[in-house]
Amino acid sequence: MAQDQSSLLLRKQLKELNKHPVEGFSAGLIDDDDLYKWEVVILGPGDTIYEGGVFKAELTFPKEYPHRPPKMKFVTEMFHPNIGPDGSVCISILHEPGDDKYGYEKASERWLPVHTVETILLSVISMLADPNDESPANVDAAKLRREEPDVYKRKVGRLVRKSQDDL
């Protein structure tokens, strides 16, 4: 039953994104036979150090979607405090629903079934523009951003150029 609900919802969201594209990203299925694996392309947000970048990622949805969040992982090499060295995205809305056992996040900041592919990707774009250094998935990126911002910007700039070359 949960799988039927999730596949109907994912199909609806895909149709909506195809009918009404959202500026800043595109999303679609990796394989037409699997509604649970999506490929995403995010354009680096303007007026940020990621501007001009073209970043590929994957969203993997659990069968319990929308009651549980998808996982998101960048395929394009990234250097960002909230993106792990393996490309995994760490933002509150992708954390399991409910109270945070560490008390860092409020339940209202974590996954809620009202989130859609669109709200997730808009949150990730916002995260690119405004990293959270307080709870980093990449400690090296957070530390470099705080302590040597010029070095951080140069490193990200190289990755932005590389993302353009990889097209």
pLDDT at res. 1: 56
pLDDT at res. 119: 94
99 confidence band (pLDDT: 50, 70, 90):
confident
pLDDT at res. 97: 87
Of residues 1 and 54, the one with the higher pLDDT is: 54
What mean pLDDT comes out for the span 91-108?
83
Is 90 an annotated catalytic residue?
yes
**Does 106 have pLDDT greater than 90?**
no
What mean pLDDT comes out for the span 79-88?
97
Orientation angle between helical segments 139-147 and 149-165, nearest 10 degrees: 120
Domain range for 64 is 2-165
Domain count along the chain: 1
CATH, residue 63: 3.10.110.10
Orientation angle between helical segments 117-129 and 2-19, nearest 10 degrees: 60
17, 90, 117, 159: the active-site residue: 90
> What mean pLDDT is reported for the chain?
93
pLDDT at res. 166: 79
What mean pLDDT comes out for the span 76-100?
93
Of residues 88 and 2, the one with the higher pLDDT is: 88
Does the predicted model carry a pTM greater than 0.95? no
pLDDT at res. 109: 86
Residues sharing a CB contact under 8 Å with residue 44, sequence separation 6 or more, in sequence order: 50, 51, 52, 53, 54, 55, 128, 160, 163
